Amino acid sequence: MLYLLGVVAFALAILISVSLHEAGHMLTAKRFGMKVTRYFVGFGPTVWSFRRGETEYGLKAIPLGGFCKIVGMTPQDDDVDPADEPRAMWRFPLWKRTVVMSAGSVAHFLLAIVTLWLAAIFMGLPNPDYPTNQAEVRNEPARIELASCVVRENPPSRACQAGDPASPAAQANLRDGDVITSIGTTSVANWGQMLDAVRATKPGPVPVTYVRDGATHTAQVNLAEVQRPPQDQADGPVGPVSALGVGLGTPPTITYGPVAAFGATADFTGDMAVNTAKAIQRIPQKVPALWAAITGEERDVDTPISVVGASRLGGEAVQHGLWEVFVLLFISLNFFIGVFNLLPLLPMDGGHIAIAWFERARSWLFARLGKPDPGRVDYFKLMPVTYALILIGGAFTLLTVTADVVNPITLIQR
């Protein structure tokens, strides 16, 4: 039930963000005096609508996006009423058309940034100093954070339940932030050595030396017995090993005050921009991996996902109580959509912006050369390229949706 709730909630959140995208176009167009005749959420048959002023607002049956109709987006539009010609979008100054066409992406960016700022205050953002791979984790200082309990079975991914034993470290009065320096007679210098020493020790009482506030102490800890695979073989044979009942003391997330959250938001946004650019560049390389996932091979977690896949991950996040994953996924997806929509390719907004600026640059150049203004770009001549891009985009979307249905990426690997 929680999974389904999460899927619906994430899909609804994305639908709202897409609706705000179209609202960005509509509101800026109206502000500049352009005529907007329709604003709808969804596609297909109309479910409900009403008219206010010169604009019809409504809801359509297929909740997969939305649209707004601005009169005269290109000089080739043939449905412009003669009375509306002065308000046709293509007649407006270049900067106004640029603002209107980019307003959709700006809406996504604002939604992502505001959500990110709120997350920094109330939920926390990923710690930039937190290790990102197993090698980095093992080299961290053996600073501990007490676990709420010890989950004996493998994998230990579930929350604590009634009957689970308390953390052995907690029972021995160790505290968060203590740094382990030895397990029994084995000295440890980092987190990896501590794990190895604990696993090499039989379950039961063992002296544990630690440093707290600069002073060295020793406690008798009754190590628990749990079922785990070898450290370097997540899929290896599961067997009994000892556990101290602690986690890495480096916090995976950091919360900020309202003022400090602005800096953290800016840093995180910069990282998202770099990662988004890299992800877009890698899309063509990931097509074979998507096809391999559909045909039965293991799904690469670095492959693109569709709204279907993102919604499934959102559902999983809610199911496991990982609301921070839900929120960060929503933020990242909005940022990606905003950037992707500004690519200078038709039929995306960035394509219209690129054409408008090309027209201006060409007119300027011809004027300097003493030649007559060549006028507007003929969109009809670009239709074959536009249709080809639509076909490629549709095929890629179908590929990602299929992969997300038959072989989805999951948060909890089984």
Residues with a catalytic annotation lie at: 22
First to last CA, the chain: 20
Which residue is listed with tokens 């200082």?
141
Task: Give the strand pairing for 125-126 and 253-254.
Answer: antiparallel
Q: Which residue intervals of 148-215 are DSSP H helices?
A: 168-171, 191-199
C-alpha dist (Å) from residue 1 to 48, 318, 320, 327: 30, 10, 12, 19
In degrees, rounded to 5, the angle at the alpha carbon of residue 143 between the alpha carbons of residues 141 and 146 is 150
SS3 assignment for 249-280: CCCCEECCCCCHHHHHHHHHHHHHHHHHHHHH
Q: What is the CA radius of gyration of the chain?
A: 28
Report the 10 Å Cβ neighbour count for 381.
9
Looking up tokens 């549709």 gives: 394
Residues with Cβ < 8 Å from 171, sequence gap 6 or more?
221, 222
Query: What are the structure tokens assigned to 289, written together?
Result: 């991996």
| Cα–Cα dist 167/153, whole Å | 15
What distances in angstroms separate CA 239 from CA 140, 154, 197, 234, 371, one per listed residue? Answer: 26, 9, 16, 12, 82
Would you give the DSSP letter of residue 322?
Answer: -
Q: Is residue 165 classed as helix, strand or coil in its secondary structure?
A: coil
